Amino acid sequence: MSAILTQPTGAAHTRIYAYGAARGENAVPNDDIIEPINSSDEWIRQRTGIVTRVRANAETDAIDLASDAAAEAIQRSGVAPEQIDAVIVATISNPKQTPSVSAIVADRVGANPAAAYDLNAACAGFAYGVAQADALIRAGAAHYAVVIGTEKLSDIVDPTDRSISFLLGDGAGAAVIGPSDTPGIGPTVWGSDGSKSDAVGMNHTLTEFRDGAAPWPTLRQEGPTVFRWAVWEMVKVAREAIEKAGITVDDLAAFVPHQANMRIIDEFAKQLKLPESVVIGRDIETTGNTSAASIPLATHRLLEEHPDLSGGLALQIGFGAGLVFGAQVVVLP
């Protein structure tokens, strides 16, 4: 008779314990970036809702931002750093191809030797990380996890590109996730549409840059294509996440979409028919679009400004490069 393997099982439910945040050190108003794109403060405000964005110092990288955000989330969570046994970092701006941001962050925050890995799902990265942490804990593969979205997008932006340069900021947001007596993270609705991968992403490869065939790769996008996809297709995903969580929009306390563009956020809320009581994350106005960091940063700010949201339900949805998306309903810590 062959031996029978032991297969672990974990907690029945999970929840988010706390959030942490780190933003770039410098506020960059529209007037500082309009000359290279031949634009105006009024044009940027009308098209994006951005008044200023935060960008990091030259010596600060995505690893530094992630470490600061994770440290705050862990401190607020009440979980000892050494109890964190999984560190998941969502980023598209690791300054090196390897080692991973997550392994370095795990060591810096005192979680060594936690399992650690990076994931690249662009602006949907944080939602992906939450889904994975939830699954790992319920499967018994981890007990406590920290999920971090971190970006230094100023390193991969062309100041003269009118399609995206004025949108982007630098920052990191983190959440500690652990076991719960009641459900705190709803089912994740996620996926991608790689057939439209040219709509937003890098304009060149690193090997093209190495070989002198192209300049330093930077982000660019087809704005109208991304706008239409985000508004019409992502609303369907948001509705599915609400339905799978077994709730209605009337049960929501907050809505935290990826901070891509204020017009997208406003149209989202309109299409979802959100009650006036739902507080909407609008961190983009003063932080900019920080890709994988935008959802936790916006949530962190909402909880700072509206502490009464604690215990309420929030719908979070990320979507971005490669037309990757992820959404779930969570209980706010």
Instruction: Give catalytic residue positions.
Output: 123, 258, 289
Contact 331, 311 (CB under 8 A): yes
Strand order in the sheet with 324-331: 189-192, 324-331, 313-320, 252-257, 279-280
- In whole angstroms, give the CA distance from residue 117 to residue 129: 10
Contact 65, 301 (CB under 8 A): no
Contact 89, 119 (CB under 8 A): yes
Contact 309, 254 (CB under 8 A): yes
Query: Tell me, what amino acid is at 310?
Result: S
Which residue in the block uniquely carries the two structure tokens 């040219």?
198
Dihedral of CA atoms 72, 76, 81, 84 in degrees, nearest 10, equals: -100
- In whole angstroms, give the CA distance from residue 177 to residue 184: 10
- For CA atoms 328, 119, 56, 69, the dihedral sign is positive
Token readout for 255 is: 């809505």
Return phi, psi of residue 255, to 5°: -130, 120
For residues 243-280, one letter each, b for 16 or more C-beta atoms within 10 angstroms of the residue's C-beta and e for the rest, the string is: eebeeebeebbbbbbbbbbbebbebbbeebebeeebbe
CA geometry: angle at 198 spanning 37 and 242, to 5°? 100
